[in-house]
């Protein structure tokens, strides 16, 4: 491993890309601490600490944004909205491509069409930023006793609203630009690297919580067995996430033979890889987003219903049942993860189109006729492996809540034992390592993934003839 790291810095081009990526991430972390003028940062932090201790929907929404947006609502900075509006806009256009013939034609046009879709995505990002910024500023001006989180001389000034909305929107657009610069001049997916940096920034705080709460003689604190379980759980979950992220169901593909003159060409055997976790983190993102609304809705109804009303008991029970970590909440969460796992493959996976491409390239699945029979087989296989992938996502999604309730461990720590943040970090790091590996192999350097070195001459790369 040490030799592989040294090899990375021996390649000048690769070294420049990595240093440029780290520099852009450092710029992002510096901007993360630039406060938004007019907001009482200490009052805002105290407000969300109180909300977190009570387990309210507002606190979960803030944690949701902080985990996979690259921003933080609990610290209202110029990067407070994070990169989430851009991700939302990209997801919207990705979904629209499956139902809009215009977007589908643009996507099939190649780089020109994709550039046009990217331009529309940026315009949509600006609109989403303005809407989310207004909603967020309205919330903090009315929370904490009506303007307690915003200085009084600022909250009623229209110019402050224009300035604050513009600053939040510009912050998100700047993060989008940073991600594009990493894509162009750095290494790795820029937006994903920004999100991962925001997630890993919370790891020192999680480690400090474990250190401060480690008391072997106190039954209410974390003991040696609890610490061992946390460490072992982290290693096992990360290893399982890596395995499930790269897991594939390989469908054998046979290329048809063709006679050209006196030669017979073709006939090679290959495989069609179908990812077990085809949806990635998207099902958890959709499920987490929607699970905020039941607690908010029932909490609002519970506050509005009179205490002497006959419906008060039922509404209060519903409000408590959909709190974070309760059994109805977890059960519905699992159902939503399964639903969105199948929904995502329905939108993204087209067995008819894949069967058509195989037939056009002169390939077929042994034992199956090209066309509808092949499409039906691919759809059946995808449905079966998606069930396994959805089960894995459900376990990863609910594990932080289970550990939080069962072991009384802070959610800041348990989020590194599962959930969206862990999956994002695993996916981004795997993609980063594979890109670095590809750059090293092009220059005959040994990489990270266990390539066999041929003496001191670097890894042995086999050609077509072995």
Q: How confident is the model at residue 174 (pLDDT cuts 50, 70, 90)?
A: very high
Whether the pLDDT of residue 227 is over 80: the answer is yes
* Contact present, 428 and 422 (Cβ < 8 Å): no
pLDDT in tens, 352-411: 888 888 888 888 888 888 888 999 999 999 999 999 999 998 988 888 888 877 777 777
Range of the domain at 43: 12-201
* Angle separating helix axes 12-31 and 158-185, nearest 10 degrees: 170
**184 and 293 inside one domain:** no
**173 and 223 inside one domain:** no
- What is the pLDDT, as a whole number, of residue 386? 92
Residue 3 domain-assigned (yes or no) = no
Mean pLDDT calculated for residue range 179-204: 86
Q: What total number of domains does the chain contain?
A: 2
Final residue belonging to a domain, choices 142, 175, 201: 201
Whether the pLDDT of residue 465 is over 60: the answer is no
Whether the pLDDT of residue 216 is over 60: the answer is yes
pLDDT in tens, 234-272: 888 888 888 888 888 899 888 877 666 667 666 678 888
Mean pLDDT calculated for residue range 284-309: 76
- What is the pLDDT, as a whole number, of residue 458? 45
* Contact present, 444 and 458 (Cβ < 8 Å): yes
* Contact present, 61 and 73 (Cβ < 8 Å): yes
Whether the pLDDT of residue 54 is over 70: the answer is no
**259 and 156 inside one domain:** no
**180 and 329 inside one domain:** no
**164 and 258 inside one domain:** no
Of the candidates 64, 48, 70, 274, the residue with the CA atom closest to the CA atom of residue 171: 70
Query: How distant, in Å, are the alpha carbons of 76, 129, 171, 184, 327 from that of 176?
Result: 19, 12, 9, 13, 38
- What is the pLDDT, as a whole number, of residue 455? 42
The runs of H, that is alpha helices, within 349-418 are 351-360, 372-406, 411-414
Whether the pLDDT of residue 28 is over 70: the answer is yes
Q: What is the CATH number of the domain that holds 24?
A: 1.10.3370.10
More confident residue, 156 or 274: 274
* Residue 169 tokens, joined: 């929107």
* Contact present, 253 and 228 (Cβ < 8 Å): no
Task: Give the chain's radius of gyration (CA, Å).
Answer: 26
d(CA 375, CA 93): 26
Of the candidates 33, 34, 35, 9, the residue with the CA atom closest to the CA atom of residue 22: 9
Residues above pLDDT 70, as percent of the chain: 85
| Distance, C-alpha 108 to centroid of its chain | 26
Whether the pLDDT of residue 74 is over 70: the answer is no
Residue 430 domain-assigned (yes or no) = no
**pTM for the whole thing?**
0.78
């Amino acid at each position: 491993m040490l030799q592989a790291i040294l090899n990375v810095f021996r390649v000048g081009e690769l070294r420049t890309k990595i240093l440029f990526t780290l520099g852009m991430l450092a710029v992002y972390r510096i901007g993360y601490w630039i406060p938004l003028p007019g907001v009482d940062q200490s009052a805002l932090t105290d407000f969300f600490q109180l909300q977190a201790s009570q387990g309210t929907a507002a606190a979960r929404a803030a944690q949701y944004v902080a985990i996979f947006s690259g921003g933080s609502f609990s610290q209202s900075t110029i990067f407070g909205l994070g990169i989430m509006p851009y991700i939302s806009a990209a997801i919207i256009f990705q979904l629209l491509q499956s139902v809009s013939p215009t977007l589908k034609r643009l996507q099939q046009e190649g780089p020109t069409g994709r550039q046009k879709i990217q331009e529309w995505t940026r315009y949509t990002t600006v609109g989403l930023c303005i809407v989310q910024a207004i909603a967020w500023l309205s919330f903090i001006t009315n929370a904490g006793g009506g303007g307690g989180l915003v200085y009084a001389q600022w909250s009623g000034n229209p110019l402050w609203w224009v300035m604050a909305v513009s600053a939040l929107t510009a912050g998100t657009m700047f993060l989008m630009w940073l991600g594009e610069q990493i894509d162009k001049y750095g290494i790795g997916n820029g937006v994903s690297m920004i999100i991962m940096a925001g997630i890993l920034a919370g790891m020192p705080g999680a480690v400090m919580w474990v250190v401060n709460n480690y008391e072997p003689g106190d039954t209410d604190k974390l003991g040696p067995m609890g610490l061992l379980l946390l460490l072992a759980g982290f290693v096992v979950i990360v290893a399982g996430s890596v395995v499930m992220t790269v897991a594939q169901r390989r469908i054998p593909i046979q290329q048809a033979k063709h006679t050209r003159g006196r030669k017979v060409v073709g006939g090679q055997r290959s495989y069609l890889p179908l990812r077990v976790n085809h949806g990635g983190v998207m099902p958890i993102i959709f499920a987490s987003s929607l699970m905020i609304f039941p607690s908010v809705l029932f909490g609002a109804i519970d506050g509005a219903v009179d205490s002497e009303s006959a419906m008060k008991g039922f509404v209060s029970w519903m409000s408590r049942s959909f709190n974070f970590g309760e059994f109805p909440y977890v059960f519905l969460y699992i159902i939503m993860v399964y639903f969105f796992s199948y929904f995502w493959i329905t939108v993204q996976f087209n067995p008819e189109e894949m069967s058509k491409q195989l037939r056009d390239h002169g390939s077929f699945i042994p034992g199956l006729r090209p066309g509808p029979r092949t499409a039906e087989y691919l759809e059946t296989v995808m449905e079966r492996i998606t069930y396994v992938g959805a089960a894995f996502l459900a376990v990863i999604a609910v594990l932080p809540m289970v550990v939080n309730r069962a072991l009384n461990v802070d959610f800041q720590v348990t989020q590194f034992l599962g959930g969206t943040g862990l999956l994002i970090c695993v996916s981004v790091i795997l993609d980063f390592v594979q890109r670095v590996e590809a750059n090293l192999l092009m220059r005959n350097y040994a990489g990270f993934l266990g390539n066999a070195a041929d003496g001191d001459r670097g890894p042995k790369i086999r050609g077509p003839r072995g």
